[in-house]
Amino acid sequence: MIYLELFWSFFQIGLFSIGGGYAAMPLIQSQVVDIHPWLTMSQFADIMTIAEMTPGPIAVNSATFVGIQVAGIPGAVIATSGCILPSCVVVMTLASIYYRFRELKMVQGVLAGIRPAVVAMIASAGITLVTMAFYGERVLPADLSEINVISVIIFAVGFFVLRKWKVNPIYVMLGAGAVGILHGIV
């Protein structure tokens, strides 16, 4: 039952991606690349790139993409529903607790406990993506000198610009794409 598997995978992604935006990334990688053979690592890198370029949450974008690749439009709708169902339940529950007690200390404490782990997981997924960008493989090759120099330059400049001037990431993405095309043509 592919629909059930899709639903369950994205339900777990929705339930355990706590801490916004990029927190979903390592979970998606684990579900759709490592546990299920739905995407290759290079497709996963593609969808992260597309998700960054298009509006909407990363988790919803990936659910739609993976759903369509695996089981067409119904797959996309099912994966997306699975992904947002935990949010609906938990948010409503928390909201009703909040309106009754106006007290979220325990919730915030749990969140504070999870946050460092989320950072560690995003860092780990980030390292895999950096390796993909520099070498085209998810693990470092034996010969480290086969590095894609242009990608390293784009990465370094992008990172510097983001840190220094806090520019909107979408401009970094557009610039990176433009440099990629320019380099390919020249």
Binding to another protein (CB under 8 A): which residues in 2-61? 12, 14-22, 24-27, 30, 45-46, 48-61
Alpha-carbon distance of 93 to 106, in angstroms, equals 14
Which is closer to another protein, CB of 4 or CB of 104? 104
Which is closer to another protein, CB of 1 or CB of 186? 186
Residues 126-185 that bind another protein (CB under 8 A): 126-127, 129-130, 132-134, 148, 150-152, 154-159, 162-163, 168-170, 172-173, 175-181, 183-185
Residues 74-133 that bind another protein (CB under 8 A): 76-77, 80, 83-84, 86-88, 90-92, 94-95, 98, 104-127, 129-130, 132-133
- CA 134 → CA 22, 73, 125, distances in Å? 21, 34, 14
Q: Which of 73, 74, 137, 146 binds another protein (CB under 8 A)?
A: 73
CB of 31 to another protein, least distance (A): 10
For 156-181, letters b (16+ CB in 10 Å) and e give: eebeeeeeeeeeeeeebeeebeebee
Residue 93 buriedness (CB in 10 A; 0-12 / 13-18 / 19+): exposed
CA angle 10, 89, 7 (to 5 degrees): 20
- Report how many residues bind another protein under the rule CB under 8 A: 106
Longest pairwise C-alpha distance within the chain: 64
Which is closer to another protein, CB of 4 or CB of 180? 180
CB of 141 to another protein, least distance (A): 17
